[in-house]
């Protein structure tokens, strides 16, 4: 799971379309920090989603093999 602040930063940027300056004001940091936080949060989210896809793909493959046997 993403940390609450990371979720908030990604949500504000990607869903609400806020600028980094706006995010920095809400979160209480510098704009450069908001940019870096967004980048780290996106990387973490990408990793989490990749893991979910891998797990789902493995589950489907296992189910297909189980159906054959």
pLDDT one-digit tens code per residue, 3-55? 999 999 999 999 999 999 999 999 999 999 999 999 999 999 989 888 888 87
Q: Which of 33, 11, 15, 13 is nearest to 24 (CA)?
A: 33
pLDDT one-digit tens code per residue, 47-58? 988 888 887 787
Dig out the tokens for 38 from the structure.
Answer: 């967004």
Q: Which of 45, 35, 17, 44 is nearest to 27 (CA)?
A: 35
Q: Alpha-carbon distance 38 to 26, whole Å?
A: 13
* Burial group, residue 46, by CB count within 10 angstroms (0-12, 13-18, 19+): exposed
């Amino acid at each position: 799971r993403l940390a609450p602040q990371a979720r908030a930063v990604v949500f504000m940027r990607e869903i609400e379309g806020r600028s980094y300056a706006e995010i920095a004001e809400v979160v209480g940091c510098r704009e450069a920090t908001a940019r870096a936080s967004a980048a780290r949060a996106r990387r973490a989210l990408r990793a989490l989603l990749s893991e979910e896809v891998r797990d789902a793909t493995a589950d489907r493959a296992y189910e297909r093999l189980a159906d054959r046997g």
